Amino acid sequence: MLYRVTVREPLVVPAPAKLNLGLEVLGKRPDGYHELVTILQTIDLSDRLILEPAPRLAYQPPPGISDDLVARALQFLTEKGVVIEAHLSLEKHIPVAAGLGGGSSDAGTLLGAFVHAGLPRLLAVAIATQLGSDVPFFLDGGTALARGRGTDLVPLPPPNGWFVLVVPELTLAHKTRQLYAALSPADYSDGMATLRQAERLRLGQNLDPQLVRNAFLRPLLTFEAVRRTLDAFLTAGARWAWPSGAGPTVFTWSPQRAAAEQLTLALERSGLRPILAVPLQPSWEQVRAGITVEQYH
Ligand code: C5P
């Protein structure tokens, strides 16, 4: 079956960053990936996908992006017989290579927009899974427990509260792959802490900082920029701080807005550039109204 996706009115779709509210690695899988238990959360720090009506597909990539997942998503869609009538561009706001999932979100949110407008989910999930382990989550965003390679997703209710994050200055080629390669069995755990955290959210309870784990902590602590950022959080008054996913972004969470704001100010005074963020539940109403998906032969 072939599909035509038509953008009927100008749309600006936020492609949100994500945090990993805990990430446990259970071990290595036969396919070379690692088996994960993690909680993924979209936050209100977003790139912007700009979609406009056009007779055929035109994509204007942002400057300076090396591995453009949006371009690859469009290529996969075209290969699967999806005709896209739209002009697309992308405004970057999420720091790149920070572990905030920016590139994955740009591609995953675009696929999500088409799914929520009527493109078959299975088709989009297959493409998203090929693009990267984090990409399928962004088809819906929100809060999810992710297992397997990171692509087996169960939606959860969001936590309440505020996140404060800092992106340490760390450039590492093929960062995610390198960090996975640096894991040893001593970094593996059974996933129970993250599963208990997920159960708390499912019951409407709030995050328990004691249940946050990060399998990459040991390898990440070998980088001075990460150590300094974690220390800066504690010095600024945070009770705890963790890397998000494979880092290097470091975050903390507070149920109180005033405490998060105070911490943000203290981190600014120490010379860092903290980002204050809240959980974000994407809304797909405008894409449903502005994009048409139809079958053709
Ligand atoms: O899936 P993605 O392309 O984002 O993964 C990048 C790299 O991270 C993989 O090539 C693999 O080395 C590693 N990875 C892993 N286990 C996962 C996810 C990623 O080992 N669950």
CB atoms within 10 A of CB 203: 8
- Are 184 and 100 within one domain? no
Please report which helix (H) or strand (E) contains residue 69, including its range. Answer: helix 69-79
Q: Which atom of ligand 1 is nearest to the CA of 135?
A: 4
As a dihedral over the C-alpha atoms of residue 291, residue 85, residue 111, residue 19, rounded to 10 degrees, the angle is -90
Distance CA 170, CA 83 (A): 40
11 CA to middle of ligand 1, Å? 32
CATH of the domain at 284: 3.30.230.10
CATH of the domain at 204: 3.30.70.890
Catalytic, 68? Answer no
Q: Which of 31, 68, 106, 134 is catalytic?
A: 134
- Are 182 and 291 within one domain? no
Compute the Cα dihedral for 115, 120, 122, 126 and give only its sign.
negative
User: Closest residue (by CA) to atom 4 of ligand 1?
Assistant: 132
- Are 177 and 267 within one domain? yes
- Are 23 and 35 within one domain? yes
pLDDT tens track for 111-135 = 999 999 999 999 999 999 999 999 9
Distance CA 54, CA 146 (A): 36
The pLDDT value recorded for residue 297 is 78
**Count of domains observed in the chain:** 2
The two three-digit tokens of residue 110, written as one number:
């675009």
- Are 109 and 243 within one domain? no
Q: Any long-range contacts for 122-125 (C-beta under 8 Å, 24+ apart)?
A: 123/3, 123/80, 123/82
Q: State phi, psi for 256 to the nearest 5 degrees.
A: -110, 130
- Are 188 and 141 within one domain? no
Contacts of 154 (CB under 8 A, 6+ apart): 144, 145, 147, 198
- Are 146 and 263 within one domain? no
Which domain, by its residues, includes 185?
162-277
User: Closest residue (by CA) to atom 13 of ligand 1?
Assistant: 177
The pLDDT value recorded for residue 296 is 87
The pLDDT value recorded for residue 1 is 72
Mutate to test the pocket of ligand 1, among 18, 28, 133 (most ligand atoms within 8 A of CB): 133
- Are 107 and 229 within one domain? no
- Are 24 and 72 within one domain? yes
- Are 184 and 144 within one domain? no
Catalytic, 134? Answer yes
Q: Which atom of ligand 1 is nearest to the CA of 28?
A: 20
User: Closest residue (by CA) to atom 12 of ligand 1?
Assistant: 177
The mean pLDDT value of the chain amounts to 96
209 CA to middle of ligand 1, Å? 26
- Are 258 and 284 within one domain? no
User: What is the biggest distance separating any 2 CA atoms in the chain, rounded to whole angstroms?
Assistant: 63
Residues of the chain with pLDDT under 70: none
As for ligand 1, residues whose beta carbon falls within 6 Å of it are: 33-34, 36, 132-134, 149-150, 176-177, 180
The pLDDT value recorded for residue 259 is 97
190 CA to middle of ligand 1, Å? 19
Contacts of 137 (CB under 8 A, 6+ apart): 18, 40, 101, 104, 108, 144, 146, 150, 151, 153
- Are 147 and 204 within one domain? no
